[in-house]
Structure 1
Amino acid sequence: MTVNEDSFTNWKHREEIAESMIPIIGKLHRERDVTVLLHSRSLVNKSVVSILKTHRFARQFAGEELSVTRTLPFLQALTTLDLGPSQIDLGMLATAYQADDRGLSVEEFTAQAVAGAMGADRIDRREGRDVVLYGFGRIGRLVARLLIEKAGSGNGLRLRAIVVRGGGDQDIVKRASLLRRDSIHGQFQGTITVDEENSTILANGNEIKVIYADDPSEVDYTAYGIKDAILIDNTGKWRDREGLSKHLRPGVDKVVLTAPGKGDVPNIVHGVNHDTIKPDEQILSCASCTTNAIVPPLKAMDDEFGVLRGHVETVHSFTNDQNLLDNYHKSERRGRSAPLNMVITETGAASAVAKALPDLEARITGSSIRVPVPDVSIAILNLQLARETDRQEVLDHLRDVSLTSPLRRQIDFITAPDAVSSDFIGSRHASIVDAGATKVEGDNAILYLWYDNEFGYSCQVIRVVQYVSGVEYPTYPAPVH
């Protein structure tokens, strides 16, 4: 047999194993509310090829591809355990097992590693939490996709309604079509049907009421059977506590804003300060996409090296706030054609750092340029550190943070020498460290941080909503602090 035939036979064998993993992963998710991860990447509802590609990502961790032949025994061991709702990382299990010298079997090691998800410590399955989307633009539709995707177990977040202004004939049909097909993020993964008579969209079995209103005061959510809901405001029309309080109508318990909050509204970056949310807090903000992109790596750098000061320059894709062609705009430059120009504009991300990282004493400044791409931006973070270091130490630290720390869902790490912006469309991380572009000299470090300012940010919003709703389940094995 030739080498090529050996390689192909090996591929077909791994395909067969990955295929056998799919029903096990699905059953754990549906019946026990267990999400199976591989180095923080969910394997739920993934194809055979996606599972194999995710295993290949482990090269970042150990320098070699993680084989499905190594992870399958851990997955099979999970089926024998009485697990409660949790997230279990097969990659972390396999890596920890390899480093363990106690001579335990895979079954024994797995039972010990996930003990917190069993017995007296296990979390009971909860009823799903109602969610309402107020507004249905770029972020609203992506958040809707994520909510529908994560509704598989029936015990998490349930998208019950979308509130929009009336748009004339076939309004609901057009909105459903925008949910179904997206020029940047592709096709919706599933089926969508529309009931115009009852003003309802049915997406993967989720019945979503479309409510028409021009103002929050017009809606009584209890009339639609909605109770204790978390309302996600995607409009950005109201950004202070007084304005956002208008949403606290019958049936709504909390309000989450997908824009920087003003005044005393807490600005939350999941992974950094989400644990500061007070249980009785009814109004909070998820800050901006750029704030979410820079704060986690800024915290990672400050924790290890100390940060004395910094400047962030964001090269940001254009947004709906800009004009397609030159036309009047309240901002001085945003009126110029977005797809034809680079546009200097302001960013509040640097000033928002203080809200998310109040212990950071460094002064952070910032500026922004909008450029003619529809999605994915890059933040160039220029830092003066408290001690001298070198490029390899910085990269090793950020790589480790991206793989094993509590920030591993926020920070990704890439070594590809030819990476460009479109490669990061659909990234679920708040930011991705570009190792090849990183520059370090003495006490100065310059980080290049890619981020999908639409989808990656939407994932951060969902994480915050999961946390405040009580359905953000613990991960096993626990990340390294």
Structure 2
Amino acid sequence: MFLVSQANTLRQLHQDRLSSYNDQEQQAIELIGLLNKLYNERDVQVTLFGETLDTTSVGQVLALHQKAAIREQDGKPIAIADTLEMVKALASSSDIQSARVDVGQLIANDTDLQAALQEAGDDKSAQNGTTDVVLYGFGRIGRILTRLLLSQASSKKGLQLKAIVVRPAAAGDLAKRASLLERDSIHGSFTGGVSVDDDNNGMVINGRFVQVIYANDPSEIDYTAYGIDDALVIDNTGIWKDEAGLGKHLQSQGVNKVLLTAPAGGDIKNVVYGVNNDTVGEDTIVSAASCTTNAITPTLKVLNDEYGIENGHVETIHSFTNDQNLIDNYHKSDRRGRSAVLNMVITSTGAAKAVGKALPELGGKLTGNAIRVPTPNVSLAILNLNLKQAPQGADALNEFLRKMANSNTWQSQISYTDSTEAVSTDFVGTKHVGIVDAQATIVTDNHATVYIWYDNEVGYSTQVLRLATQMGGISYTQIPA
């Protein structure tokens, strides 16, 4: 009799949970419709603690609500019903335009939506403009940027990818480029459709035409002939890294500014978005620094602000890249000629030195090395730091970093995990720039060792696009401020 009763109880529990999940699915479907309407009609994007809510995936929306905590130690999940109610209120407000709204922060902090909208209404700095974008180069970063730009719902505002420039190639090149975009061994199949337009020498990506231009030198291109003007060129070839080389882009017809996806030399600013992007001003050539610099600088900044950094060493365990050989062969750089898939390869990194360009107060205080390892993506930076003020143990330091990761200011740049099972592949595709691994934190007196995971492709590319948006003169009202 007891077993029958227990079976009935479990059956009822299963039915109740299934019914609850079905209700959540319906709420997610309704939410997605509102999100698309806000984005398409008013250029309003809604996030949940910095994570963009996917307007095509019910599963992703529900999963984000499962893992998004109210940012308290009890880890109470945000209910999708609360998000839906908040987004309905946003949709009913006729005042909101060109905004980025974080409903997670609003709900977690019990923020009055009308008060937040009133405060946002006083911000007159938002510019709902349009900027043509040209990707010069179509390698790993170029294709990731393309995916990020064209996987979201179409909009007539913001960054508009108009062209991709590659070197002249043999027949069939266009189809190969399209295939490489559509299929990726690390990040999987592209979400959407990719087709080749041979007649116009371009690709149609999620319904949007992107011109493919073949050229050997930036200065030889007339972009206005393709209907492109005042464009921002994102150079991800790594061929030119100084003002003389990158300045060739500005000699082209139709180009206004240049953004380099590599560390730059000379007087070109190396910018980590969220840290020193306020220094860009009217610069026409800017560097987005490196993936490692972007991953570690935000965490180094908050640690320096809180504890002070005397000095330190950064060791990067970095996935291999295309500049290494698959098997042993000649290479101009030391050690990189040895097989990338068979060896751990000690090499140099300029990331530690580049931190000083983004954070002058740390200039000359950090050294660095890199070890290339046989994994294709996701890297790990180890910060060994001597602090001026000693944290009260690893738990205290972790609690500080958790609060920074959960703050409205740093949630897009710093993330946090305390999982005992986390490994590198868990972070493939993450848009967070750096993820602090709390389980690995070590504190001895005033010496701290902090481990930071990062997707050196997607995380970095997300930062590049944030900087590109700023350089394009596009800004959004942030809610909450």
Same fold (TM over 0.5): yes
2:71 match: secondary structure: helix
Map 1:219-298; keep pairs closer than 5 Å: 219-248=221-250, 249-279=252-282, 281-298=283-300
Matched, 1:59 2:69: yes
Q: Using a 3 Å threshold, how does the CA distance of structure 1 residues 123 and 277 change in structure 2: closer, same or farther?
A: closer
Runs (4+) off by over 3 Å: 116-125
Query: In the alignment, which residue of structure 2 is the partner of 1:84?
Result: 97
2:269 match: secondary structure: coil
Greater mean alpha carbon deviation, residues 451-460 or residues 354-363: 354-363
1:182 match: secondary structure: coil
Query: In the alignment, which residue of structure 2 is the partner of 1:450?
Result: 453
Residues 159 and 469 in structure 2, CA contact (< 8 A), matched pair in contact too: yes
Matched, 1:26 2:36: yes
Map 1:127-276; keep pairs closer than 5 Å: 128-150=130-152, 152-248=154-250, 249-276=252-279
**Which residue, out of 52, 62, 70, partners 2:82?**
70
Query: In the alignment, which residue of structure 1 is the partner of 2:21?
Result: 11
Q: Using a 3 Å threshold, how does the CA distance of structure 1 residues 46 and 399 change in structure 2: closer, same or farther?
A: farther
Give per-residue Cα distances to partners, 1:287-344, cap 9 Å, x unaligned. 1111111101000111111111111100000000000111100012000110011001
- Structure 2, unmatched stretches of 5+, are 1-8
Greater mean alpha carbon deviation, residues 464-473 or residues 79-88: 464-473
Matched, 1:462 2:465: yes
Aligned amino acid, residue 137 of structure 1: G
Query: In the alignment, which residue of structure 2 is the partner of 1:104?
Result: none
Aligned pair count reads 466
Structure 1 residue 117: Cα displacement? 3.9
With normalisation by structure 2, the TM-score equals 0.94
Residues 87 and 474 in structure 1, CA contact (< 8 A), matched pair in contact too: yes
In 1, the alpha carbon distance for the partners of 2:167 and 2:70 equals 47
CA RMSD for the aligned pairs?
1.5
In 1, the alpha carbon distance for the partners of 2:268 and 2:159 equals 23
Give per-residue Cα distances to partners, 1:209-244, cap 9 Å, x unaligned. 100001112211111111110000111100011110
In 1, the alpha carbon distance for the partners of 2:405 and 2:350 equals 26
Structure 1 residue 360: Cα displacement? 2.8
Structure 1 residue 153: Cα displacement? 2.1
Greater mean alpha carbon deviation, residues 67-76 or residues 85-94: 67-76
Percentage of matched positions with identical amino acids: 49
Residues 234 and 260 in structure 2, CA contact (< 8 A), matched pair in contact too: yes
2:371 match: secondary structure: strand
1:432 match: secondary structure: strand
Structure 1 residue 461: Cα displacement? 0.5
Residues 150 and 157 in structure 1, CA contact (< 8 A), matched pair in contact too: no
Residues 185 and 425 in structure 1, CA contact (< 8 A), matched pair in contact too: yes
Residues 270 and 286 in structure 2, CA contact (< 8 A), matched pair in contact too: yes
In 1, the alpha carbon distance for the partners of 2:289 and 2:374 equals 24
Residues 84 and 122 in structure 1, CA contact (< 8 A), matched pair in contact too: no
Structure 1 residue 96: Cα displacement? 1.9
Give per-residue Cα distances to partners, 1:23-54, cap 9 Å, x unaligned. 00110000000001111111142411111111
In 1, the alpha carbon distance for the partners of 2:450 and 2:400 equals 13
**Which residue, out of 343, 366, 369, partners 2:368?**
366
Matched, 1:394 2:408: no
1:59 match: secondary structure: coil
Q: Using a 3 Å threshold, how does the CA distance of structure 1 residues 393 and 30 change in structure 2: closer, same or farther?
A: same
- Structure 1, unmatched stretches of 5+, are 101-108
Aligned amino acid, residue 343 of structure 1: V
Aligned amino acid, residue 331 of structure 2: H
Q: Using a 3 Å threshold, how does the CA distance of structure 1 residues 121 and 16 change in structure 2: closer, same or farther?
A: same
Aligned amino acid, residue 209 of structure 1: Q
Map 1:308-319; keep pairs closer than 5 Å: 308-319=310-321
